[in-house]
Chains A and B, each alone.
Chain A
Amino acid sequence: AQTVTQSQPEMSVQEAETVTLSCTYDTSESDYYLFWYKQPPSRQMILVIRQEAYKQQNATENRFSVNFQKAAKSFSLKISDSQLGDAAMYFCAYRSARNSGYALNFGKGTSLLVTP
């Protein structure tokens, strides 16, 4: 089974600064998808960014970008120009591309605090 590890239980960043959240995963598959989800106190899981494993180019969505290192099985999230509204739990998730289930395997999450 695939496992996802987020080694940073908590991170803190000042407003307007940049922060990087780490994620590593373990898989024997070559084809898969990786995601970062944001979960604010309201509990609503919101998709931040996704990466297809077959793509070498790192995904970017406005202030959010990833550093995908397939050989190292690493998938970090960089948040630039941090805003107060970025404060939330961030979950890294893995999904197989071949398994018919398509369910997400989540890490334990990183709590991001944004200070003024």
Chain B
Amino acid sequence: EAGVAQSPRYKIIEKRQSVAFWCNPISGHATLYWYQQILGQGPKLLIQFQNNGVVDDSQLPKDRFSAERLKGVDSTLKIQPAKLEDSAVYLCASSPGRSVRGQYFGPGTRLTVT
């Protein structure tokens, strides 16, 4: 079974530029999550999708962050414009709906904003 795929693995941009991350969840997983992990901290949920609908985006800075999950499969997370404090690892995870087995994580994208 293929795991959660993310790209790119690394990205360096200047502040005020825009950037987009892509995630392809495990086939058949209805639920998709984006987490932000700042250095030295645990991941923090940004947004959760159930199929192609948003379940929770309460911690997403909507003035600069946006996310979509077209057709309920892969997803993109965008930052525009980026700030220095957006430097972090962005993790995508998926789970088969209301799974009690936890979530399956991708390798993450490390973003550096200079």
- Where the two chains meet, the residues of A that have a C-beta atom closer than 8 Å to any C-beta of B are 4, 33, 35, 37, 42-47, 50, 52, 91, 93, 95, 97, 100-104, 106-109
Contact = CB atoms under 8 A, between A and B. Distances in A.
A50 B42 contact: no
A107 B44 CA distance: 10
Contacts of B21: none
Interface residues of B, number: 26
A106 B107 contact: no
Interface in B93-108: 93, 95, 98, 100-108
11 contacts: A37-B105, A42-B107, A45-B105, A46-B105, A47-B102, A50-B102, A97-B100, A104-B33, A104-B43, A106-B42, A107-B42
A35 B102 contact: yes
Contacts of B104: 47
B70 to A, nearest CB: 21
B101 A102 contact: no
A5 B56 CA distance: 23
Contacts of A50: 100-102
Given A101-B48, A102-B48, A107-B42, A43 B107 contact: yes
Interface in B22-56: 31, 33, 40-45, 48, 55-56
10 closest cross-chain pairs (CB), A and B = A106-B42, A45-B105, A103-B45, A101-B56, A43-B108, A47-B102, A44-B107, A91-B42, A35-B102, A106-B43
Interface of B: 31, 33, 40-45, 48, 55-56, 89, 91, 93, 95, 98, 100-108, 110
A108 B42 contact: yes
Nearest to B42: A106
A25 B108 CA distance: 26
Nearest to B9: A43
Given A43-B108, A106-B44, 11 more contacts: A35-B102, A37-B105, A45-B43, A45-B105, A50-B101, A93-B42, A97-B100, A101-B45, A104-B33, A104-B43, A108-B40
